[in-house]
């Protein structure tokens, strides 16, 4: 379970998070929506300790993330897969080496046969052909790079998956493929997921609950039906651009 | 007048604060590296790769520069000492100049551009493309995976390159003093070189090379690691890395001469 309580974060004069309360229950997928630059990625990075809050608490599995010592934090991070917005693949390594780096179990890292099989398994899970393993990130399309990023994130068999804009910059076909992948991974691996996104349609499709980050706080959080029923002006304004989609999704 | 005075104070204050914050962060960064020493299984193989790149990759340009440095030293010494001093002094002067100063300092300045810029740009790009965050999010330490191999390679390979630079510089100096204005004989050159040579000089050259190697790898790694704000930030970090590493070399050169040379 991930729990953020009254989290504040500012960069210089800019207040990004101003008292965020956010909970993700075991096994559910939560989509975190919001306008560009509102602090969605910053909030996500609090969950695996890449950013520490100025004040407030961040708990994952009951552990206070900002207060964990180095080894405990490494151990926790090995249970949290993080999919970066632009893939963040190591460009000097092949796809195979990138995914292999995601295998975090110390006992398995030295076992070559296990690692080879695990890498192939992960590439297969994200629907990438086996030959992709020998390519380098520069040889891949945007959609493939995102899928390699996902393969690396799941290589360590995580309990949690944090997706930072997994469909941004992709055409609708590739965005659909990624959405289906998020659902497939939730169903096949049973992971708890947080999906940061701009994509309203995709979010309504993949998420059990939806949260809207607005002016540094969580403006609304609930099931897709609860969010649709919201009469909050800020919520309505955010969804206005996707209004037809919103209504379509509402049936 | 008052405004100008205030501005100067503000500039000095801001500069002092920035400098102190860099010193603090560099100290913290160095502590992280010391901690990462325990993860030798990770950094040792990577340090060999980096050492190969630093050593083999830089050898040609280092030898070329050392050859020209030796030649110019011989020609200028010949020009200055043509009639006034015993010619064997030239042998001593060339060897001492190359071993004590030109070999280590020129090699270090050269590598601060070649290696320092590369380290800062590589790590800066990795920072702005979130590759360093990705490494951390996989529970791995950037210090043992990225920084320590580079710092160890730089610190250990610079003395090796300086040995080559010293050797080529001296040979080139001998060649040009033998064929130039002075027509110095081998016997005169060797006599002069031995007359002024102290074994400590060679150790001094290697010890200061290690410090220079540490500076040209640690400072750029720190600058690259601290990069912010995209491509512009990478450019800024790379420039700052080369300038800071070069200034560090000059500062260390003076400091180590004061500390390590007897009666300096």
The domain locations on chain B are: 37-260
In which band, very low, low, confident or very high, does the pLDDT at B83 lie, cut at 50, 70 and 90? Answer: low
- Return mean pLDDT, chain A: 86
Alpha-carbon distance values, B173 to A63, A99, A210, B162 (Å): 67, 54, 75, 16
Contact call for A101 and B140, based on CB within 8 A: yes
Residue A53 neighbours by CB under 8 Å, 6+ apart:
A7, A8, A9, A17, A46, A66
Weakest-pLDDT range from A3-7, A170-174, B145-149: A170-174
Tell me the CB-side half-sphere exposure of residue B168, using CA atoms within 13 A.
20
A223 backbone dihedrals φ, ψ, rounded to 5° = -70, 160
Identity of the highest mean pLDDT range in A216-220, B31-35, B40-44, B157-161: B157-161
Q: Residue B151's closest CA among B73, B247, B74, B220?
A: B220
Helical pair B199-225 and B2-36, crossing angle rounded to 10 deg: 100
Q: What is the mean pLDDT of residues B229-253?
A: 91
For residues A125-147, average pLDDT: 87
DSSP state of B114: I
- Verify whether the Cβ–Cβ distance A50 to B139 is below 8 Å: no
Predicted pLDDT at B81:
72
The candidate with the shortest Cα–Cα distance to A89, out of B222, B129, B88, B13, is B129
What is the 3-state secondary structure of chain A? CEEEEEEEEEECCEEEEEEEEEEECCCCEEEEECCCCCCHHHHHHHHCCCCCCCEEEEEECCEEHHHCCHHHHHHHHCCEEEECCCCCCCCCCCHHHHHHHCCCCHHHHCCHHHHHHHHHHHHHHCCCCHHHHHCCHHHCCHHHHHHHHHHHHHHCCCCEEEEECCCCCCCHHHHHHHHHHHHHHHHHHCCEEEEEECCHHHHHHHCCEEEEEECCEEEEEECHHHHHCCCCHHHHHHHHCCHHHHHHHHC
Torsion, Cα A190 A196 A197 A203, to 10 degrees, reads 30
Q: Which residues of B touch A (CB under 8 A)?
A: 35, 126, 129-131, 133-141
Q: List the single residue in B with minimal CA-CA distance to A103.
A: B138
Q: What is the pLDDT of residue B44?
A: 93
Residues of B in contact with A101 (CB under 8 A): 135, 138, 140
- pLDDT of residue B143 exceeding 70, the answer is yes
Judge: A82–B130 Cβ closer than 8 Å, yes or no: no
pLDDT at A251 over 60: no
Boundaries of CATH 3.40.50.300 in chain A? 1-79+181-251
Q: Is A85 on the interface with B (CB under 8 A)?
A: yes
> What pLDDT, on a 0 to 100 scale, did the predictor assign at position B189?
84
The C-alpha atoms of residue A176 and residue A184 are separated, in whole angstroms, by 12
Residues of B in contact with A82 (CB under 8 A): 134, 137
Architecture of domain A1-79+181-251: 3-Layer(aba) Sandwich (3.40)
* DSSP state for residue B183 in the 8-state scheme: -
- Return the minimum-mean-pLDDT range out of A100-109, B56-65, B116-125, B156-165: A100-109
Average pLDDT over residues B219-227: 92
- Determine contact, residues B73/B173, Cβ cutoff 8 Å: yes
Residues of B in contact with A93 (CB under 8 A): none
Measured distance CA(B245)–CA(A36) in Å, rounded:
38
Residue of chain A whose alpha carbon sits nearest to that of B134:
A88
A75: nearest CA partner in chain B = B139
Flag if B130 and A80 touch (Cβ within 8 Å). no
- Whether residue B137 and residue A48 make contact (CB cut-off 8 A), yes or no, is yes
Question: Hey, are the CB atoms on A88 and B136 less than 8 Å from each other?
Answer: no
Is residue A106 predicted with pLDDT exceeding 70?
no
* Helix residue ranges, H only, B81-225: 88-96, 103-111, 117-128, 131-137, 142, 148-179, 186-196, 199-225
Residues of A in contact with B234 (CB under 8 A): none
Tell me: pLDDT of A109 over 80.
no
Taking the CA atoms of B37, B43, B48 and B54 in sequence, report the sign of the dihedral they define.
negative
Confidence label for A246 from pLDDT (cuts 50, 70 and 90):
low
Closest Cα in chain A to B137: A77
Closest alpha carbon within chain B to A110 = B41
Cα(B166)–Cα(A176) distance, integer angstroms: 63
Nearest Cα of chain B lies from the Cα of A236 at a distance, in angstroms, of 33
Query: Looking at residues B119-135, what average pLDDT do you find?
Result: 92
Test B140 with A82 for CB contact under 8 angstroms.
Answer: no
* B contacts of A98 (beta carbons < 8 Å): none
Q: What is the mean pLDDT of residues B237-254?
A: 93
Q: Is A157 on the interface with B (CB under 8 A)?
A: no
Shortest alpha-carbon distance between residue B127 and chain A (Å): 10
**Residue of A41, A82, A99, A158 for testing the chain B interface, max B β-carbons within 10 Å:** A82
Q: From CA A1, how far away is CA A159, in angstroms rounded? A: 10
For residue A104, give the nearest of B126, B136, B139 by CB distance.
B139
Of all residues in chain B, the one with the smallest CA distance to A100 is B138
Residue B182 has pLDDT above 80, yes or no: no
Q: Do B133 and A50 touch (CB under 8 A)?
A: yes
ipTM of the complex: 0.84
Smallest Cα distance from B137 to chain A, Å: 6
- Give the pLDDT band of residue B191 (cuts 50, 70, 90): confident
Return the residue in A47, A50, A93, A108 with the most chain B beta carbons within 10 A, the one to mutate for interface testing: A50
User: Residue B86: what pLDDT?
Assistant: 77
A12: which residues sit within 8 A by CB, 6+ positions away? none
**Å between B135 CA and nearest CA of chain A:** 9
For B37, phi then psi, to 5°, come to -55, -30
Q: What percent of chain B has pLDDT over 70?
A: 95
Q: Which of A78, A84, A88 sits opposite B139 (nearest CB)?
A: A78
More confident of the two residues A143 and A44: A44
Q: Which of A193-197, B2-6, B75-79, B195-199 has the highest mean pLDDT?
A: A193-197
Mark residue A68 as left, alpha or beta (left: phi above 0; alpha: psi -120 to 50; beta: remaining): beta
- Cβ contact A50–B137 (<8 Å): yes
- Nearest beta carbon to residue A102 from set B131, B138, B141: B138
Strands of A80-83's sheet, edge to edge?
A80-83, A160-164, A192-197, A29-33, A209-214, A217-222
Cα gap A163→A47, rounded to integer Å: 11
> Nearest-CA distance from A158 to chain B in Å?
10
Query: Residue range A181-200: average pLDDT?
Result: 86
């Amino acid at each position: 379970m991930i729990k953020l309580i009254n989290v504040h974060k500012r960069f210089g004069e800019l207040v990004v998070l101003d008292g965020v309360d956010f909970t993700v229950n075991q096994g559910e997928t939560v989509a975190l929506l919001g306008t560009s630059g509102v602090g969605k990625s910053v909030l996500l990075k609090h969950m695996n300790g890449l950013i520490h809050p100025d004040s407030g608490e961040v708990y994952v599995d009951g552990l206070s993330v900002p207060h964990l010592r180095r080894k405990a934090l490494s151990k926790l991070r090995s249970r949290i897969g993080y999919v970066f917005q632009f893939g963040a693949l190591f460009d000097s390594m092949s796809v195979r080496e990138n995914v292999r780096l995601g295998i975090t179990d110390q006992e398995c890292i030295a076992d070559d046969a296990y690692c080879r099989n695990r890498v192939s398994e992960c590439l297969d899970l994200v629907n990438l052909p086996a030959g992709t393993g020998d390519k380098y990130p520069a040889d891949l399309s945007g959609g493939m790079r995102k899928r390699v990023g996902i393969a690396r994130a799941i290589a360590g068999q995580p309990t949690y998956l944090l997706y930072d804009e997994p469909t941004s910059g992709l055409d609708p076909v590739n965005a659909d493929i990624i959405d289906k992948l998020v659902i497939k991974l939730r169903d096949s691996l049973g992971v708890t997921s947080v999906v940061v996104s701009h994509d309203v349609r995709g979010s309504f499709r993949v998420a059990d609950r939806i949260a809207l980050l607005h002016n540094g706080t969580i403006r609304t959080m609930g099931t897709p039906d609860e969010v649709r029923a919201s009469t909050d002006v800020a919520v309505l304004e955010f969804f206005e651009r996707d209004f037809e989609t919103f209504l379509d999704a509402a049936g | 007048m008052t405004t100008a005075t205030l501005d100067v104070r503000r500039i000095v204050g801001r500069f002092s604060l920035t400098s102190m914050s860099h010193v603090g962060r560099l100290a913290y960064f160095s502590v992280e590296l010391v901690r990462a020493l325990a993860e030798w299984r990770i950094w040792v193989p990577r340090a060999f790769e980096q050492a190969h790149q630093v050593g083999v990759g830089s050898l040609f340009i280092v030898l070329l520069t050392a050859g020209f440095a030796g030649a110019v030293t011989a020609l200028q010494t010949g020009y200055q000492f043509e009639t006034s001093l015993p010619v064997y002094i030239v042998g001593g002067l060339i060897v001492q100049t190359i071993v004590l100063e030109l070999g280590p300092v020129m090699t270090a300045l050269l590598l601060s551009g070649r290696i320092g810029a590369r380290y800062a740009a590589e790590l800066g790009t990795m920072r702005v493309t979130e590759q360093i965050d990705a490494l951390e999010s996989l529970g791995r330490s950037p210090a043992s995976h990225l920084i320590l191999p580079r710092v160890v390679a730089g610190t250990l390979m610079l003395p090796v390159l300086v040995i080559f630079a010293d050797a080529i510089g001296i040979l080139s100096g001998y060649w040009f003093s033998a064929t130039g204005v002075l027509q110095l004989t081998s016997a005169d050159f060797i006599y002069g070189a031995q007359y002024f040579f102290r074994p400590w000089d060679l150790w001094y050259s290697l010890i200061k090379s290690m410090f220079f190697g540490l500076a040209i790898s640690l400072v750029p790694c720190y600058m690259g690691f601290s990069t912010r704000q995209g491509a512009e930030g990478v450019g800024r970090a790379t420039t700052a890395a080369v300038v800071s590493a070069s200034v560090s070399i000059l500062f260390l050169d003076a400091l180590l001469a004061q500390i390590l040379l007897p009666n300096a």
